[in-house]
């Protein structure tokens, strides 16, 4: 492979303090790693091999691609090998250092999509992938950018094994995903810790265009260095940095249109009335709608009029254009001393309803300054301003009304006035004229580091990273007047125009200092890290309310009436201080050991319980490097076995869980208002961390230089989970939280990849991920929860709790012979199992009937390229899960929230005396037997989804150079194109529990371009 070696000319004068004898035994080489275009490659790894003795030393290039090799002996021959993620290895052969030259090398690496990851970001540093002993998954920023997404969390779906990403909504600004790493290990907040360039933050606050790579620390050994915050896993986001010695400008965009992936089909006005009459007569009541009204609708056909409305509520309510666009501009510039990456982004997403949108403005500037070989500075600044707009009535209410208001209700009269809807509740008028809710939450952050290297093997770093955030949340709900067709006013919803405004400001401080030692002693490689950090957080907030706005155009509190005004406000704060350390040891490039420890102190707990110690240990054996396997190198490129153990903590259990707090308020007494203070909750000063212990064993294989296989088996047990245990009622206070619960997660993960020969014109690669987790609650101290989803011993968290259904009653005799159930029963009603045989079906007969925690999550991510064309797709799914929807839009004539009550098209397949093998029970208005929580309404929530499909074309370099461009690519993209599932028709399978009033997932068809100057 062709390489370039640049030797500088001999200098005329030697440095006076260099002696010839010293130079001959302790020389050093200064070098730089760049790509074909001269851009530096930070984090590249360099191996220095003495040709005669085969002694090998390892080095890592800094953020500017610079490295120093030492010690070298004058006149001796050396081989210098350079490696970097995504590039072919290159080497400098037979290098000879002398005492009379600068001993400088420049190595250029060629891109190679077939190379596996060389360096992986870990806690407070990087490691060569071959030396990793923990379970870590890496995701490149390029893979994320292949999927146009407003929220970065949703772009992670299907990208790593053992990571379950569930996107429950397509609502603008709220279409982020829930991320769970290796199951759920707590009854509280199970979200992982997210660190962006070492600073805690939300993954949705960073635009995917800014991300260089993401590392997911899945086991306790890799995450324990973050101690009390790492029990749910850790996600490390590394942003892009300046890497060019010249100015490079890149711009990318896309434009797209959204549409709902799935919406329930609701019956028209005529069918609604006919089925309503059937539901009435089935319970012995007279038909609600007379025959003349039904005849008039039949004569009208599919049309609609003031007198005989036939409203398609979904069509009339979903009037938003769903347009989506993204623009991102990056300037990459620098010299050998200063490098800068400045990015400006704009994202705009319109909703499916009127007055719904999400906008995000992003400015980020990452600067690296190298003052000398020993002193460097990093200074990053970021400003993000997300703005979410939605109808004041709330999106959830609108979607509930769409599925529950019957079609024979009017949304708009022929004279242009708003129709009655359902007692004035009208999703069309609420979206158009019912006011707007706006949430503005801008924040700015600084991440500054000073890096000092007194020796090549010793690095000290001090970091300070403050973040200031504000939030202004205004909900201005306007009263909308509805009218009868003759112009007579009817309902006003709400009765009065009202404004609720919430303001807050947050300050987050993060201070950190680390010292890293990295030395090799013959076959021994030793690396040690020690550090300390302090974090503190404070929030102040206030909320005000006023109504009766005479001038509704003035959306400020002072414009409302003071009669019903209210004001609340408070503040809270916490602090965390920590010491942490890590030791890495490698012997003969094949025996690996890592030890981690963290000592955390949290203000959330009382004195005596504030500090916790979180250790871990892991080891690995690169058996492929053993001499007895030398003959296997033709097919066994890399082989490693890993094992780890560690303890983690969870401090996200409230801000003041250990202290007795007073509830402050006011109360009307006599003719005045007096301030009050009440002690309502019993405190528990002995409360402490939730503690997680995890064991992991894994294997990493690279076969035939093309295939990669990673497999892991783990057991994670979380103890001291907070539970509210019973206390004597005589105490007169609410029961406190206590460390009592225990949850276990057992699982396995498999990731397989293949990359074709990069030298061929047709290139392709794929990655297949498959994982399973079995979640079980081991100890609830005898607590038996009730409700639709419960936590019970021996079953997964959030299990579905209900009756076992045994089909429909078919005869009156069958009804009489069965246990007593609910309401007046008749043939066609659901039959439930009497579990205890007492002759009565009640709460005592409910059992666990399903699990909401996904099992067998899988994905297939593939890429193909040929002569400028590229094609990629992502298939993603869940092999086993249960879902449960209920209420309006699912169960016939159910009036969820006392709004409406109609029926879906597929509910027509109901039990009748002539159709006993029906899909649904008989229609029975006002009866509640068939609406009970049971297996009947539970559905299979397993699915396969084509998450993303993209086709692109990159113009040839020769053509682009003539017009001054380095890169020009155009693409078309489709997201959420189709799903295969057995869930409820019209509802998204990723939102499997609830009323079904979710904003639906959206299909997005988009096109865009990437340009680099």
Q: Under a CB-based contact definition with an 8 Å cutoff, are residues 290 and 280 in contact?
A: no
**Domain boundaries, position 33:** 20-109
pLDDT tens digits along 789-818: 999 999 999 999 999 999 999 999 999 999
pLDDT tens digits along 838-880: 999 999 999 999 999 999 999 999 999 999 999 999 999 999 9
Please, what is the angle between helix 269-281 and helix 291-300, to 10°?
160
**For residue 305, what are its two tokens?**
């009029």
pLDDT tens digits along 503-519: 999 999 999 999 999 99
Residue 99 lies in a domain: yes
| DSSP output for 431-482 | HHHSEEEEEE--EEEEEEEEEEEEETTEEEEEEE--EEEEEEEEEEE--EEE
Measure the CA–CA gap between 564 and 571, rounded to whole angstroms: 24
pLDDT tens digits along 19-36: 333 334 578 888 888 887
Q: What is the pLDDT of residue 91?
A: 80
Q: What is the pLDDT of residue 112?
A: 58
Kindly give the pairing relationship between strand 943-954 and strand 27-35. unpaired
The phi, psi pair for 972, rounded to 5°, reads -125, 150
pLDDT tens digits along 756-793: 987 788 999 999 999 999 999 999 998 888 899 999 99
Mean pLDDT across the stretch 125-151?
88
Q: Under a CB-based contact definition with an 8 Å cutoff, are residues 332 and 248 in contact?
A: yes
**For residue 983, what are its two tokens?**
């869930």
**For residue 111, what are its two tokens?**
């891109």
Residues paired with 526 in a beta bridge = 519, 585
pLDDT tens digits along 434-464: 999 999 999 999 999 999 999 999 999 999 9
End-to-end alpha-carbon separation of the chain, Å? 28
Least confident of 91-105, 364-378, 803-817: 91-105
Residue 85 lies in a domain: yes
Residues whose CB falls within 8 Å of the CB of residue 85, separated by 6 or more in sequence, listed in order? 43, 115, 117, 118, 119
Please give the mean pLDDT across all residues of the chain: 90
**For residue 309, what are its two tokens?**
């409305």
Q: What is the pLDDT of residue 25?
A: 57
In eight-state DSSP terms, residue 652 is -
Sequence length of the chain is 1013
Q: How far is CA 543 from CA 440, 472, 473, 663, in A?
A: 15, 10, 9, 17
Q: What is the pLDDT of residue 6?
A: 31
Q: What is the pLDDT of residue 336?
A: 85
Residue 10: pLDDT band with limits 50, 70, 90: very low
Kindly report the CATH number assigned to the domain that includes residue 56: 2.60.40.10
Residue 997 lies in a domain: no
The phi, psi pair for 853, rounded to 5°, reads -80, 120
In eight-state DSSP terms, residue 168 is -
Q: Under a CB-based contact definition with an 8 Å cutoff, are residues 918 and 911 in contact?
A: yes
Measure the CA–CA gap between 122 and 117, rounded to whole angstroms: 13
pLDDT tens digits along 912-953: 999 999 999 999 998 999 999 999 999 999 999 999 999 999
Q: What is the 3-state secondary structure (H, E, C) of 351-407?
A: CCCCCCEEEEEEEEEEEEEECCCCEEEEEEEEEEEEEEEEECCCHHHHHHHHHHCCC
Q: Under a CB-based contact definition with an 8 Å cutoff, are residues 717 and 673 in contact?
A: no
Q: Under a CB-based contact definition with an 8 Å cutoff, are residues 497 and 478 in contact?
A: yes
In eight-state DSSP terms, residue 817 is H
Residues whose CB falls within 8 Å of the CB of residue 16, separated by 6 or more in sequence, listed in order? none
pLDDT tens digits along 208-239: 999 999 999 999 999 999 998 999 999 999 99
pLDDT tens digits along 545-573: 999 999 888 999 999 999 999 999 999 99
Longest dimension (CA), the chain: 114
Q: How far is CA 46 from CA 29, 76, 81, 99, 558, in A?
A: 12, 18, 6, 22, 67
**For residue 820, what are its two tokens?**
């007593």
Residue 367: pLDDT band with limits 50, 70, 90: very high
Q: Give percent above pLDDT 90 in the chain.
A: 69
Residue 228 lies in a domain: no
The phi, psi pair for 299, rounded to 5°, reads -70, -30
Residue 69 lies in a domain: yes
Peptide linkage before 664 cis (omega within 30 of 0):
no
Q: How far is CA 472 from CA 388, 497, 505, 565, in A?
A: 11, 19, 9, 19
Which H helix or E strand runs over 1010?
strand 1002-1012
Q: Under a CB-based contact definition with an 8 Å cutoff, are residues 26 and 69 in contact?
A: no
The count of other CB atoms within 10 Å of the CB of residue 281 is 14
Measure the CA–CA gap between 977 and 950, rounded to whole angstroms: 11
- With H, G, I as helix, E, B as strand and everything else as coil, classify residue 904: strand
Q: Is the pLDDT of residue 653 over 90?
A: no
Q: Is the pLDDT of residue 312 over 60?
A: yes
Nearest to 337 by CA among 375, 298, 300: 375
Q: Give percent above pLDDT 70 in the chain.
A: 96
Q: What is the pLDDT of residue 2?
A: 37
pLDDT tens digits along 168-215: 899 999 988 999 999 999 988 899 999 999 999 999 989 999 999 999
**The pTM of the whole model exceeds 0.85:** yes
The helices-and-strands tally (H runs, E runs) of the chain is: 11, 52
Which H helix or E strand runs over 25?
helix 20-25
Measure the CA–CA gap between 405 and 312, rounded to whole angstroms: 10
Residue 734 lies in a domain: no
What's the angle, vertex CA 895, arms to CA 890 and CA 897, rounded to 5?
Answer: 110
Q: What is the pLDDT of residue 862?
A: 95
Residue 654 lies in a domain: no
pLDDT tens digits along 278-295: 999 999 999 999 999 999
**For residue 699, what are its two tokens?**
């294997």
Q: Is the pLDDT of residue 642 over 90?
A: yes
Residue with tokens 């158009």: 432
Q: What is the pLDDT of residue 9?
A: 29
Measure the CA–CA gap between 124 and 222, rounded to whole angstroms: 11
Q: What is the 3-state secondary structure (H, E, C) of 108-163?
A: EECECCCCCCCEEEECCEEEEHHHCCCCEEEEEHHHHHCCCCCCHHHHCCCCCCCE
Q: What is the pLDDT of residue 825?
A: 95
What's the angle, vertex CA 36, arms to CA 459 and CA 954, rounded to 5?
Answer: 120
Residue 70 lies in a domain: yes
For the CA atoms of 375, 448, 62, 126, what is the dihedral angle to 10 degrees? 130
Write b or e for each residue in 53-89: b if 16 or more Cβ atoms lie within 10 A of its Cβ, otherwise e.
eeebbbbbbbbbbbbbbbebbbeeebbbbbbbbbbeb
Mean pLDDT across the stretch 328-348?
94
- Structurally, how many domains does the chain consist of? 1
pLDDT tens digits along 465-492: 999 999 999 999 999 999 999 999 999 9
Q: What is the separation of C-alpha 758 from the centre of its chain, rounded to a whole number of angstroms?
A: 33
């Amino acid at each position: 492979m062709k390489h370039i070696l640049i030797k500088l000319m001999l200098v005329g004068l030697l440095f006076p303090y260099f002696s010839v004898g010293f130079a001959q035994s302790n020389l050093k080489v200064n070098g730089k790693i760049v790509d074909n275009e001269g851009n530096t490659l930070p984090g590249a790894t360099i191996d220095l091999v003495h040709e005669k003795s085969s002694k090998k030393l390892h080095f890592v290039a800094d953020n500017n691609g610079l490295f120093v090799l030492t010690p070298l002996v004058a006149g001796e021959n050396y081989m210098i090998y350079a490696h970097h993620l995504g590039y072919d290895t290159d080497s400098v052969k037979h290098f000879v250092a002398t005492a009379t030259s600068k001993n400088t090398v420049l190595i250029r690496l060629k891109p190679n999509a077939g190379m596996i990851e060389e360096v992986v970001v870990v806690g407070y540093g990087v490691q060569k992938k071959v030396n990793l002993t923990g379970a870590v998954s890496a995701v490149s920023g390029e893979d994320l950018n292949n999927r146009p997404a407003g929220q970065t969390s949703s772009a992670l779906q299907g990208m790593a094994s053992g990571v379950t990403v569930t996107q429950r909504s397509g609502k603008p600004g709220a279409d982020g995903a829930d991320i769970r790493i290796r199951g759920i290990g707590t009854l509280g907040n199970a979200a992982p810790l997210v660190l962006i360039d070492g600073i805690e933050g939300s993954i949705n606050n960073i635009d995917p265009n800014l991300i260089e790579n993401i590392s997911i620390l899945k086991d306790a050994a890799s995450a324990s260095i973050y101690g009390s915050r790492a029990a749910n896993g850790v996600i490390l986001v590394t942003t892009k940095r300046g890497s060019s010695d010249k100015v490079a400008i890149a711009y990318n965009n896309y434009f797209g249109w959204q549409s709902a992936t799935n919406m329930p089909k609701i019956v028209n006005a005529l069918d609604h009335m006919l089925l309503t009459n059937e539901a009435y007569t089935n319970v012995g009541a007279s038909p609600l709608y007379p025959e003349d009204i039904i005849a008039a609708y039949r004569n009208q056909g599919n049309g609609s009029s003031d007198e005989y409305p036939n409203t398609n509520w979904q069509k009339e309510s979903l009037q938003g254009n769903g347009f989506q666009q993204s623009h991102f501009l990056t300037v990459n510039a620098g010299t050998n001393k200063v490098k800068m990456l400045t990015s400006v982004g704009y994202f705009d997403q319109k909703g499916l309803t009127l007055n719904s949108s999400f906008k995000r403005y992003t400015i980020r500037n990452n600067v690296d300054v190298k003052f000398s070989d020993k002193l460097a500075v990093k200074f990053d600044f970021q400003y993000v301003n997300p703005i979410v707009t939605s109808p004041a009535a709330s999106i959830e209410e609108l979607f509930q009304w769409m599925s529950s208001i019957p079609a024979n209700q009017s949304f708009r009269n022929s004279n242009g006035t708003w129709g009655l809807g359902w007692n004035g509740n009208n999703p069309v008028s609420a979206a158009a004229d019912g006011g707007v809710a706006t949430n503005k939450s801008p924040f700015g952050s600084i991440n500054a580091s000073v890096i000092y290297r007194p020796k090549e093997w010793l690095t000290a770093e001090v970091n300070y990273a403050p973040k200031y955030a504000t939030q202004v949340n205004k909900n201005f709900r306007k009263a909308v007047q509805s009218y009868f067709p003759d112009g007579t006013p009817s309902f006003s919803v709400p009765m009065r125009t009202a404004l609720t405004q919430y303001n807050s400001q947050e300050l987050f401080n993060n201070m950190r200092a680390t010292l890293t030692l990295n030395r090799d002693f013959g076959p021994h490689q030793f690396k040690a890290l020690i550090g300390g950090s302090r974090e503190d957080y404070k929030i102040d907030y206030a909320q005000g309310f006023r109504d009766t706005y005479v001038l509704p155009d003035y959306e400020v509190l002072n414009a409302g009436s003071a009669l019903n005004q209210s004001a609340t406000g408070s503040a809270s704060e916490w602090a965390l201080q920590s010491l942490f350390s890590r030791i890495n040891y490698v012997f003969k490039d094949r025996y690996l050991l890592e030890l981690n420890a963290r000592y955390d102190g949290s203000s959330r707990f009382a004195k005596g319980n504030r500090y916790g110690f979180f250790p871990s240990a892991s080891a690995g054996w690169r058996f492929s490097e053993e001499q007895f396997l030398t003959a296997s190198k033709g097919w066994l490129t890399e082989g490693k076995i890993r094992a780890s153990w560690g303890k983690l903590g969870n401090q996200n259990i409230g801000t003041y869980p250990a202290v007795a707090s007073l509830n402050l308020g006011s109360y009307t007494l006599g003719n005045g208002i007096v301030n009050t203070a009440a002690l309502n909750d019993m405190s528990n000063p002995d409360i402490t961390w939730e503690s997680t212990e995890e064991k992991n064993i894994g294997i990493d294989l690279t076969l035939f230089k093309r295939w990669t296989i990673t497999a892991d088996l783990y057991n994670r047990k979380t103890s001291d989970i907070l539970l509210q245990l019973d206390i004597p009622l005589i105490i007169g206070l609410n029961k406190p939280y206590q460390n009592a619960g225990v949850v276990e997660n057992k699982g396995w993960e498999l990731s397989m990849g293949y990359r074709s020969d990069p030298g061929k014109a047709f290139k392709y690669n794929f990655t297949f991920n498959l994982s399973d987790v079995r979640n079980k609650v081991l100890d609830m101290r005898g607590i038996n929860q009730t409700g639709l989803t419960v936590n019970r011993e021996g079953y997964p968290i959030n299990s579905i709790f209900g009756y076992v259904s045994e089909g429909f009653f078919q005869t009156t005799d069958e009804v009489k012979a069965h246990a007593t159930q609910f309401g007046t029963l008749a043939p066609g009603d659901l039959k439930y199992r009497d579990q205890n045989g007492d002759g009565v079906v009640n709460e005592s007969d409910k059992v666990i009937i399903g699990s909401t925690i996904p099992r067998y999550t899988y994905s297939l991510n593939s890429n193909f390229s040929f002569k400028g064309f590229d094609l990629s797709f992502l298939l993603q799914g869940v092999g086993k899960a249960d879902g449960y929807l209920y209420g309006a839009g699912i169960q016939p004539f159910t009036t969820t929230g006392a709004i409406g009550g109609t029926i879906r098209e597929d509910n027509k397949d109901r039990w009748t005396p002539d159709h006993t093998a029906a899909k649904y029970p008989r229609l029975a208005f006002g009866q509640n037997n068939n609406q009970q929580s049971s297996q009947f309404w539970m559905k299979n929530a397993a699915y396969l989804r084509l998450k993303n499909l993209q086709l692109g074309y990159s113009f040839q370099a020769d053509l682009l150079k003539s017009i001054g461009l380095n890169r020009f690519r155009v693409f078309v993209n489709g997201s959420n194109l189709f799903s295969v599932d057995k869930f409820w028709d019209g509802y998204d399978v990723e939102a499997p529990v609830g009323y079904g009033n979710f904003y639906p997932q959206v299909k997005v068809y988009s096109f865009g371009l990437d340009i680099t100057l």
